[in-house]
Structure 1
Amino acid sequence: MRTSLICLFLCLSVFAAAQDTPRVVPLPLPPGPRKHGILSVFGAHREEAREGKFLVTPFFLPAYSPDIAFSLAGGAIFSFRTQKSDSALPTSSIPVTVTYSTVNSFIASAGWTTFWLHDKLRINALMQYKNTRDAYYGVGYANAISTSYPDSTHLIRSFTIIQIRPLWKLRRHLFGGMSLEYSQNILSQVNAHTAHDPYYLQTGQFIRNTGLGAILSYDSRDFPQNAFRGLYSTLIYTFYQPQFGGNTEFRALDFDTRFYLPLSRYKYHSLAFNYRARYDFGEPPFTSMVSLGTSQDLRGLRFGQFRDFYENYFITEYRHKFYWHDRPTRWGFVCWGGVGAIGGDFRSALFERAIPDFGIGLRFEIQPRLNVRADWGHAPLGGRSSSATYFNFLEAF
C-alpha cells in the first residue's frame, strides 16, 4: 500500500514537470482611485504588496456549526516578503483567528506560511488552542450513524497543538523536510457511554502526542496560498513515540494532492481538485484518528462524527472572481462537491460507504491574492444530515 502511494506521488510529480512550460499569467489591471467607504478599511494594498511591505488587515464575521453553535470570529492576516528586494519570492502570510461561541467554546489559531532565502527554505507552522464542546461517536462508520447525539457523545476538550514543518528546496519545485509536532488533549465532562468506550479507556482523559516525521513535497503552484494553476503533492510519514515525551505510540501516513486548472486565459476562473488520504497505524488515540468535517475538507459534516484509522476524500471546487467592466473586483464565490470515506482498513476506506458533501462560499480579497472566506456546507446523510458555516482566512486547499 505504501509503495503504491509513493508511486502515485512520483507519477503526479512527473506529470506536473511535463506540464511545467512557461505561461503568461494574466495580471489584474491596476485598481482605480481608492474609494472612501467602510470596505476601504480593508484595502487590498496592491502597491505595498508589490514592494514586499509588512501588511496587517483585520476582519470579523459571525458563523454557525453544529459543533459549537453560533460564534463570532475575528482576527487579522499579516503578510510580508522576507526579502523585499526579491520580487520573485512568494508572499509570506500569517492568519490569526480568535473565535468565541454561544456555548462558551473558545478557539485561537495562527497558521504560518513563510518563504526564506530566495525560496530555498520554507517554514510552515500551526499553533492552536481551543477549549470547546466536542462530540465522540465512537470509531467507525456504524457508530457515526447509530450513536445517540448528544447524550452519548458529549464531552469538553481542551486542545493545544504546535506543529512546525521546515522544507528545503532539493531542486526546482521539489522540497524535502521534517515535521515536528506536539499536541495535548485534556478531556472533561465525559458522558457515561464514552467512559466505557475501549478507545477512550486506551489513554483516558489526558493525551499527549509528540511526533517526528519526514516530508517529500512537489509544488509548482503560481501562488501557494491561493493557486490559480499548478500542482501540489506531498507525502508525510510521522512517528509518534513516548520516547519523544508523549504517552502515545503510533504512526501516520499522510498523502495530499491538489491540482489547479485555469478556465480562462484572461480572468481568474478556475477549478481546484483535492485528493487526500491519511492512514494511522499502531494504537492512535481516538482524538488523533483521522476525522472528516474541518474547514479544510468536507465542510458541513459534524467534526468528530466520522473517524477511523483510514480516511480518503476527494473535492472539486469551482472558483470565480467577479469582474466589473473587465476589471477584477475584490469579490468572488466558490462552489464545491466532494465525497469521503473512513474505514478500519484500506479497502473499506476506499469509498465503500461514501459520505457526500457540497456547498457554496463567498470570497473577499483583503490583500492581493489573500482572501477571507465564508463557506456554507451541507452533508446529506438522511436522518444524520448536517450543515455548517465557516469563517476563515485563505482557501480551504
Structure 2
Amino acid sequence: MFKIRVLMLLAGATVCHFANAQEGWFKRFVNKTVSDTTSPGQSSFRVYPTLGYSPETSFEFGLSSLFLFQAKKDTLNRLSEIAAFTFITLEAQYGLWFDNAIYGDKDKWFFLGRTRFQRFPLLYYGIGPETPEEDPALIDANYILFKQRVLRRIAPNFFVGPEIDYQQLYKTSFNQPDNHFYDKPLGSDGTRNIGFGAALVYDNRHNVLNVRKGLFGEISFLKYDRGLGSKSNFQGVNVDIRSSHPTSVRNVLAWQVYGNFYSGDIPFNQLALMGGEMIMRGYYYGRYRDKNMIATQVEHRWLPFGFSKRFGAVAFAGAAVVAPKITGFEAKYIRPSGGVGLRYLLFPKKDIFLRLDVGFTKEGPGFYLFTGEAF
C-alpha cells in the first residue's frame, strides 16, 4: 500500500519557470501563490492545493498552508513556522494537521509541537521486527494527537521545559484481511492516553525547514499513568540527533540518529513506529512497530542546482530496526531504505523548499510531498 500525492502548484510553477508568462491572470496567480515578494524580516503566508491517491483512501483533495515569521520582525531572530494541512477523500475520510516551531525574541522561548485530527485508515501488519509483508489489517478510527513542548532557554542554544502528549483513538473498527488473522492489539478498540514529562534540547539551527548548517539534539521522557487520565500505564524515552554540514555554497550533507525506548502496557498506535515522511521514507508509517526502535539516515542536498535558481534535488539512505526490549535488537532485522527527491524553491528570500521524495524499499516505493526538509 502506498500513497502518491501530487502538488498541483508545482506543475504550475514549473510552467512559469520555463515559459514567458509576463502579463495577465497567470502571472498574478504565480506572484500571489508562488513568488516570495516579502522583504527580509516580514512574515510570509502561502496556501496551495494538493491532490493524492492511495488504495485505502481513493482520491484525496487537500489544502496546505505555511506561515513564516521572525519574532519582532528581527532578522537576527530564528525563522519560526506554523504549517497546516487539511484533506478530504472520496471515501469520506478527512483530517487536519498542524505543526509548529516557534522561537521567541532572542530565543527566550521555544514552542515545538504538532496537532492531528483525522478520520483515516491505519494499516496494521502486527508487532515485532518480522511481520507479514501482505494482507495487513485495516483499523478505521478517529484519531486525535496533541504534542507540545514549552521550552525555556537556559544557556546559548540550550532549552529545557515540560512536554505533554495526548493521543486518542475512538469510533474504531478492526477489519481482518481475508487471508490472515491478527490478534487484536491493545488499543484497537479505542484508547486515550495523556503523558507528561520533560525535554532537554540543544538547537543552533537558524532555519528549521531548511538547515544549511547546525545541530539539533533532543532527549525527552514521558510518563503515561492511569491516575492522570490514561487508559494504560507506560513510559518512554525519545532521542533525536540531527546535524547538517555545508559541503559548498549550494550543497549540504545531513545525518540523523533517532530512537524510541518504551516500557509498560503500550497501545499499538503509540509503539515505536518505523516509516513515514520523516525517517525511513519508503515504508508505510507503522509498517514495523515494537517497544523499541533505532533509526538513522543520511542525505545529500543540492539546493538548488548550479544551473537553476529554483530547482534542486536530494539523495538519501537510511536503516532502522525495532525490538521488544533494548537488549533484543538483532542485525538480521535491520531494514534499509533509500531514495531521491525533487526540490522547488517556494520562498527564495527565506530559503524554503517544497520537497517531493520517493523512497524505495524491498516492499515497494513510497511518495511524499511536504514543505521543508525531512529533518
How far residue 191 of structure 1 moved from its aligned partner, in angstroms, is 2.6
Q: Alignment partner of 2:185: what SS?
A: helix
In structure 2, the partner of 1:233 is 217
C-alpha displacement at 1:102, in angstroms?
4.6
CA distance, structure 2, for counterparts of residue 166 and residue 350 of structure 1: 36
Describe the SS at the equivalent of 1:118: helix
Q: Which runs of 5+ in 2 are unaligned?
A: 1-20
Share of identical aligned residues, percent?
21
For the pair 1:387 / 2:365, whether they are aligned, the reply is: yes
Root mean square deviation of aligned Cα: 2.4
State the Cα deviation string for residues 306-343 of structure 1 (Å, max 9, x = none). Answer: 00011011111111123566xx6122111111111111
Note if contact 2:256-2:297 (Cα within 8 Å) is conserved in structure 1: yes
Bigger shift: 311-320 or 351-360? 351-360
Please tell me whether the aligned partners of residues 221 and 237 of structure 2 are also in contact (alpha carbons under 8 angstroms). Answer: yes
Q: Which residue of the partner structure matches residue 334 of structure 1?
A: 314
Q: Residue 122 of structure 1 is aligned with which of 94, 110, 113?
A: 110
**Equivalence for 1:137:** 125
Residue in structure 2 matched with residue 317 of structure 1 by the alignment: 299
Q: C-alpha distance in 2, partners of 1:261/1:35?
A: 38
Q: Deviations over 1:172-224 (max 9, x none)?
A: 11111121121111253313589962633xx4512001011111111122422
Give yes or no for contact 1:103–1:133 (8 Å, CA) kept in 2.
Answer: no
The 5 A counterparts of 1:26-45 are: 37=27, 39-45=30-36
Which of residues 44, 60, 63 is equivalent to 2:49?
60
Question: Aligned to 1:336, what secondary structure does the other structure show?
Answer: strand
In structure 2, the CA distance between the partners of 1:350 and 1:197, relative to structure 1 (3 Å rule), is same
Structural mapping, 1:160-239, within 5 Å: 160-192=144-176, 197=183, 199-200=185-186, 203-239=187-223
1:364 and 2:344 aligned: yes
- Secondary structure (helix, strand or coil) at the match of 1:83 reads helix
Which residue of the partner structure matches residue 64 of structure 2?
75
Structure 1 residue 165: Cα displacement: 0.7
Which residue in the other structure is 2:77 paired with?
89
Following TM superposition, where does structure 1 have runs of at least 4 consecutive aligned residues deviating by more than 6 angstroms? 193-196
2:284 maps to: 302
Report the secondary structure of 1:287's partner residue. Answer: helix
Letter paired with 2:272: V
Q: Secondary structure at the match of 2:106?
A: coil
Report the secondary structure of 2:227's partner residue: helix
Shift in Å, 1:103: 4.2
Task: Determine the structure 1 residue equivalent to 2:226.
Answer: 242
Q: Give distance in 2, aligned partners of 1:331 and 1:304.
A: 32
Shift of 1:46: 5.8
Work out which of the residue numbers 111, 126, 147 in structure 1 matches 2:99. 111
Letter in 2 for 1:261: H
Q: Deviations over 1:22-64 (max 9, x none)?
A: xxxxxxxxxxxx966354333443642x1x3232111223345
User: Which residue is equivalent to 2:239?
Assistant: 255
Q: Is the 8 A contact 2:209 2:371 kept in 1?
A: no
8 Å CA contact retained: 1:66, 1:302:
no
Report the 3-state secondary structure (helix = DSSP H, G, I; strand = E; otherwise coil) of the residue aligned with 1:388: strand
Q: Which residue of 2 aligns with 1:343?
A: 323
**2-side partners of 1:338 and 1:69: how far apart?**
29
**Offset at 1:71?**
3.1
Q: Structure 1 residues 63, 338: closer, same or farther in 2, change over 3 A?
A: farther
SS at the partner of 2:373? coil
Q: What TM-score do you get using the length of structure 1 for normalisation?
A: 0.81
| Bigger shift: residues 100-109 or 75-84 | 100-109
Alignment partner, residue 21 of structure 1: none
2: distance between equivalents of 1:273 and 1:61?
29
SS at match of 1:322: coil
Q: After superposing the two structures, state which structure 1 stretch, 360-369 or 281-290, moved more.
A: 360-369
Name which of 345, 350, 354 aligns with 2:334: 354
Name the residue aligned to 1:27: none
